[in-house]
Structure 1
Amino acid sequence: MEFIMGTVIGIDLGTTNSCVAVIEGDTPTVITNKEGYRTTPSVVAFTKSKERIVGDAAKRQAAVNSDRTIFSIKRHMGTDYRKKIDGKYYTPQEISAFILMKLKEDAEDFLGQPVTDAVVTVPAYFTDAQRQATKDAGKIAGLNILRIINEPTSAALAYGLDNGMAQKVLVYDLGGGTFDVSVIDIGDNVIEVLATSGDNHLGGDDFDERIVNYLVEQFKLSDGINLSKDVSAMQRLREEAEKAKKELSSSVTTNINLPFIAMSKDGPHHIDITLSRQTFDELTADLVDRTITPVENALHDAGLSKTDINMVLLVGGSTRIPAVADKVRQLMGKEPSRNLNPDECVALGAAVQGGKLGNQLQAGSAASEIILMDVTPMSLSIETMGGIASRLIERNTTIPTRHSQIFTTAGNFQTSVDIKVFQGERKFTRDNKLLGNFRLNGIKRAMAGVPQIEVTFDIDVNGIVNVSAKDLGTGREQSITITSSSNMTEEEIAKARWEAEVYSKQDEAYQRFIDIREDAVRTLNEANNALAANKKVWEKDKKKNVKAQIGHLGKLISKAPIDKLNEEKAVSLHEAAEAVKEALR
């Protein structure tokens, strides 16, 4: 019996927002989430009653529940960071899995069928550990990640569908937490990455942080109060900073107005500050300048000059900042393309790749004909005497790739060697990132320099590294798929997946409570509007009844904030909202 693969979705798992897409016919389409939006905030929260919420609902309640709300977890992927909530430590993989589960569920609702396979994108400059962590997050979420592809490559794939003519494209991808630049050659149905560079700790979050710091300083000067110690106030500032940044993309000034931001002996204090685009540009000029070197490095590694580039593609929401587009224009000497939606094109490209891997494309279509050739972002080396990083694979080597080299022993009668694998461009291993290590035992006793040990590096299509070492004298071999200390064992992944599934049922119930509360808030607003519009028309008894029901519903809503919802409160809200609707009839 031939196995038929289900629909493969494409996921852009972003630092601040995520997006999911699918191939329909031969066209990639963005999947709208349950809330009706085309992107989903990459935010996870645990309410006081221990429910887990993801996306818009989690972002909305952050100010009243900031210490139990997790933003920008992608910045911690591949590290041993843990977030402690209710006595349990969550890994970045688990928190990312909650976001992936939400995207998976939204896709299943949209398609009307279960989804198990996905192509997931990562920043081109993600290390091996970060790629492994992303695969682990997929497993926990119940997703089989068929392929991990680099975000700029994915964007170029979406672009190349409609622009197949031969051209060299520079993809400038500034997202919420990461910056990537890739030089890509779009040829005859081949998309070939020539070089990539970037900064895994530069993105829109940093621009927001500059506004927050500015507001804290201004408030200190005007009111003599330091807000940086107040967790709830800081969360409100972050939300306003993000809004202000977005407004300044189209306006030259924005007003930041936060009533009751602090209390002191003399009463409440409010923030009311006007921020100009000029001040914002001054606060963030160094962040924009940090994108210059990776652009120059990628061009240098590709062996191209700026004039060789036919098109500059802006990807990632942060490229909407006017100063960023200005810098690209000035740097490259040409107008960047705005053909693609910077928030959606990465997911669209991933969906195309998913369609190819799932055999869901019609033969002969533009999408089915395109071949992707990506590169490894950083050089790989092993440690040799004196802490030297001996490179086996240079950065920007096309993947998949395999390379072997013969090494030998440093001491007489040595029967084992430690193989330490590093990623990075520096001469000494101490300045590079240790990916992992293993020991080859049972080497034939001999004088130093006699044994021949063949070390082989193998990088697969996901950019994930396998390393093996073989003593050519005895035929003994040892190999590992690199897993750094931050990565999870299969047992840990299985346990996390089980917990995620158990919680998922609770999450669905909790989402229902949130929906009921939102319906109640909507009903209250509509009733207030109807009361105001019909004051002179309605009979006295009807007016009195509507007012009473509105008052009752308003009280219940104020006693049931999002982070304290439970079944009892949800039932009361539903009944009160229905009573208001009945009174309005």
Structure 2
Amino acid sequence: MAKVSINLATGSIQKEEIIVGIDLGTTNSLVAFINPDKNPQVINDTGKGVLVPSVVHFGPAGEITVGNEAREYLVTDPQNTVFSVKRLLGRSYHDIENYKDFFSYKVIDDDSESLVKIKVGDKFYTPIELSSLILKELKARAEHALKTPVNRAVITVPAYFNDSQRQATRDAGKLAGLDVLRIVNEPTAASLAYGIGLNPEETKTIAVYDLGGGTFDVSILQIQNGIFEVLATNGNTFLGGDDFDSAIVDYWIEKNQLNKADIIADNKLAQKLRLKAEEAKRAFAYQSLVNDKIGDIWCTLDRNTFEQLILGKVQETITCCQNALKDAKIEVGQIDEVIMVGGSTRTALVKKMVAEFFGRPVHDEVNPDEVVALGAAIQADVLAGNRSDILLLDVTPLSLGIETMGGLMDVIIPRNSKVPTKAGRQYTTSIDGQVNMKIAVYQGERDLIKENRKLAEFDLKGIPSMPAGFPKVDINFLLNADGILKIQAIELRSGVKQEVEVKPTYGITDDQVEQMLLDSITHAKDDVSQRMLIEARVEGEQMVKQVEGFLRKNSDFVSIAEIADTTKYIDKLNAALTSGDKDAIHKAIDELNEFTRPFAERLMDQAISHAMKGKSIE
């Protein structure tokens, strides 16, 4: 007996499972699908609105709130409320060092290249886990609105996201119970929403200007034969509509002769002023004067003054556009279309200055908050094979990657990548004096290599003997149109090189591929838990080695009492490593790091003072 799916929301028979398009945003996220009329449509579930704030709150009993309700805790319980997690995806501690004051929650800093972790209470979370909670909320809202299971999605990312940030987004989707069919660049999705790039005969160069609440970026794309190429991106990840609100608040503080420090200290008043500023900014779309009051504070502003206040910020975005054109090596006159994305592009001055700079009218017909999600839904429809007018290029059926420490698989070419393709990552040694590196290549969707299919294994021999972390080994995967995978490993300092070729799909049936994909979703939660435990253990073991090595080399600079106390922290970390509790391991790493940090700083000060002795600074 054949099963027939009926979509209860529309009453129509569903030929295929719905694939949704998701815009996972820094400030807000949303989900869209293709409706029965074959048009993209955003989902507004239970009247909460289309936009789901990208905010997660952790309650005292471990209860998790996501979205609209979580946003209210930004003022009342900031240390347990996580926002802007997209900024942390695939980032190391060093990447965000200069911006750590921006976050009200604790971002763990262990002075390493490891990916960031966020501490809430006694628990440690990765940005992947936190993003997965937002995606889970979007999935639940879509399922509730459409009255049908939603298991497959296309997720958008900024064009400048690197490989590690894209993989982190895929992992977050998998953890949320979604089969992520494709990661699509946000400007590409916005173009698709306007129908640009759907005609294979079309050749166009376009600019996508994306100004959100907290971030700005501009992308220059070239579209040829339905293929989108990113020529250049530019922007500022800490510039957006929030800056317009701040400028208004600062103006009101000055006009009312208030002390800014007092306002910042009064969290609730600061939030009220910020919300009133946001209200005023939006009101200028249909009126030229705002005259309001909060307590004794007059909140008066006219549109001309508002435009003077934000002129500098808008000019910064125009400078970014100039730089992007320069990097793309094209003239402003060569841009065929300009697309506006992000809620802050509703501001009249922004539209005016962007149109003047590019010398042409801008596209803002589609809601700028929704345009990326709508385009993602169109891309999802393409992948579902529902658009006969678009040619689907051959794609890789399963992810390809290599084994890393602890028996984990590091994906180099994600599944559904277009063929032919090339991708690579850089690795280093984990042991001092290591001269050989084993490279094992796997195919599959699971986090642990033992659950995946081994394709090849070879040794890169003759790496110069150096301390751990010094050699730089580039591993490149080249997958040609015939499905032949060439793996190349090269140590950059010495030029030592090794290559091997394999055919990934040899001897594997469609049913086996389908089963491997199904298993990856079914076991996603367990896989991620195991991966995080293994990564915590590897990080902990390396920390122990580093600290023990530091004490051996610098025993003259550390007191006997300090050595004894450090040994206690090392013993505590070693005990945690055998516990199977990743939070206990991270806590012990954090404590050992905090205790030993002053030694390292003291040693650095002494080294500098010794080096500078007898030298004058002019």
From the superposition, tell whether residues 29 and 415 of structure 1 become closer, same or farther in structure 2 (CA, over 3 Å): same
Which residue is equivalent to 2:476? 457
Task: Note the C-alpha offset of 1:353.
Answer: 1.4
Is residue 125 from structure 1 mapped to residue 160 from structure 2 by the alignment?
A: yes
Letter in 1 for 2:25: G
Is residue 176 from structure 1 mapped to residue 213 from structure 2 by the alignment?
A: yes
Q: Structure 1: any 5+ residue segments left out of the alignment? A: 260-269, 374-397, 406-412, 420-438, 447-452, 478-488, 499-585
Which residue is equivalent to 2:435? 415
Is residue 469 from structure 1 mapped to residue 489 from structure 2 by the alignment?
A: yes
Which residue is equivalent to 2:332? 306
**Match of residue 262, structure 2, among 203, 211, 226:** 226
Task: Note the C-alpha offset of 1:160.
Answer: 2.0
Question: Which has the higher mean CA deviation after the structures are superposed, 177-186 or 93-102?
Answer: 177-186
Task: Note the C-alpha offset of 1:440.
Answer: 7.8
TM-score using structure 2 length: 0.57
Is residue 11 from structure 1 mapped to residue 11 from structure 2 by the alignment?
A: no
Task: Note the C-alpha offset of 1:331.
Answer: 1.0
Which residue is equivalent to 1:347? 373
Pairs within 5 Å for 1:239-318: 239-259=275-295, 270-318=296-344
**Match of residue 388, structure 2, among 339, 363, 366:** 363
CA contact 1:119–1:354 (8 Å) conserved in 2: yes
Identity rate of aligned residues, in percent?
Answer: 39
Deviations 1:356-394 (A, max 9, x none): 2233x1424xxx348799xxxxxxxxxxxxxxxxxxxxx
CA contact 2:383–2:392 (8 Å) conserved in 1: no
How many angstroms apart in 2 are the aligned matches of 1:344 and 1:40? 12
Task: Note the C-alpha offset of 1:293.
Answer: 3.2
From the superposition, tell whether residues 352 and 75 of structure 1 become closer, same or farther in structure 2 (CA, over 3 Å): same
How many angstroms apart in 2 are the aligned matches of 1:308 and 1:295? 13
Task: Note the C-alpha offset of 1:444.
Answer: 7.6
Deviations 1:232-280 (A, max 9, x none): 3333333333223222333323245333xxxxxxxxxx42221233333
Letter in 2 for 1:244: A
Pairs within 5 Å for 1:171-570: 171-187=208-224, 189-218=226-255, 221-222=257-258, 226-259=262-295, 270-359=296-385, 361-364=386-389, 368-369=390-391, 401-402=421-422, 415=435, 442-443=461-462, 455-458=474-477, 469-470=489-490, 475=498, 493-494=528-529
Letter in 1 for 2:275: E
Residue-pair matches, total = 412
Task: Give every structure 1 segment of 4 or more consecutive aligned residues whose post-TM-superposition deviation is greater than 6 Å.
Answer: 2-5, 370-373, 471-474, 489-492, 495-498
How many angstroms apart in 2 are the aligned matches of 1:218 and 1:329? 33
**Match of residue 90, structure 1, among 111, 120, 125:** 125
Letter in 2 for 1:177: G
Which residue is equivalent to 1:154? 189
Deviations 1:418-462 (A, max 9, x none): 99xxxxxxxxxxxxxxxxxxx98631889xxxxxx994534999x
Deviations 1:62-106 (A, max 9, x none): 444444333322223333434443332333322222211111001
Look up the SS of the partner of 1:290 in the other structure.
helix
**Match of residue 40, structure 2, among 2, 25, 28:** 28
Letter in 2 for 1:95: L
Which residue is equivalent to 2:141? 106
How many angstroms apart in 2 are the aligned matches of 1:114 and 1:404? 35
Task: Note the C-alpha offset of 1:6.
Answer: 3.2
Deviations 1:483-530 (A, max 9, x none): xxxxxx9978337999xxxxxxxxxxxxxxxxxxxxxxxxxxxxxxxx
CA contact 1:93–1:134 (8 Å) conserved in 2: yes
What is the CA RMSD across the aligned residues, in angstroms? 4.3
Letter in 1 for 2:193: A
Letter in 1 for 2:435: T
CA contact 2:27–2:213 (8 Å) conserved in 1: yes
Task: Note the C-alpha offset of 1:474.
Answer: 8.5
How many angstroms apart in 2 are the aligned matches of 1:371 and 1:345? 24
Task: Note the C-alpha offset of 1:322.
Answer: 1.7
Deviations 1:100-120 (A, max 9, x none): 111100111122222121111
Letter in 1 for 2:284: L
Task: Note the C-alpha offset of 1:332.
Answer: 0.9
Higher relative contact order (CA 8 A, sep 6+): 1
From the superposition, tell whether residues 134 and 444 of structure 1 become closer, same or farther in structure 2 (CA, over 3 Å): closer
CA contact 1:170–1:183 (8 Å) conserved in 2: yes
TM-score using structure 1 length: 0.60
From the superposition, tell whether residues 289 and 351 of structure 1 become closer, same or farther in structure 2 (CA, over 3 Å): same
Question: Which has the higher mean CA deviation after the structures are superposed, 223-232 or 197-206?
Answer: 223-232
How many angstroms apart in 1 are the aligned matches of 2:233 and 2:46? 36
CA contact 1:315–1:343 (8 Å) conserved in 2: yes
How many angstroms apart in 2 are the aligned matches of 1:355 and 1:334? 31
Q: Structure 2: any 5+ residue segments left out of the alignment? A: 4-14, 94-106, 108-116, 396-417, 426-432, 440-457, 466-471, 481-485, 501-523, 534-618
Letter in 1 for 2:210: D
